[in-house]
Amino acid sequence: MGAIGLVLPVIQAIAGYMAERKTMVADKTGLNIETVNRVSTAMTDLLSKDERVAEVIMAEIDKARAHDITMAAANAFPLVALLRGLVRPVITLTAFFWYVYARCSGMELSAEDYAIVGGIMAFWFGLRPFEKTASAKVVARGTPLSGS
């Protein structure tokens, strides 16, 4: 976060000041009120963009979770649920063993190969266990799954 964390409150304060006192800012700077209004609006939009993106992402995550819940209810056969549960681990293990084989046999690996294997490992050993732990606690408390 660093410098952004220090600069962001200052920019927000300036944008708020400009929005509240458009006429005074326009008189002091020699600009017309419309220009001050556009700059203030642009600064406010820029500052709230990350929050809007986070809200959209969380809405998509909630939709995906709701879809998973309905799919789990629709797949009443244990064999279907088992096969669905094995897809990701099988793909992960295949990619991992391919990587180990490539390294042991001296195959030339490209940057894309490392990106694929790194992405798979980051998925399983990165934030995924923490998300599962957090969602398990939410379910255990009896509250619905949410993005927060």
User: How confident is the model at residue 143, as a pLDDT?
Assistant: 47
Q: Which residues of the chain are under the pLDDT cut of 50?
A: 1, 139-143, 145-148
User: How confident is the model at residue 148, as a pLDDT?
Assistant: 45
Please state the separation of Cα 148 from the chain's center in Å: 12
Helix (H) or strand (E) holding 23: helix 22-29
Token pair in block for residue 34: 């419309």
47-60 pLDDT per residue, tens = 777 777 778 888 88
59, with CB counted inside 10 A (0-12, 13-18, 19+), is exposed
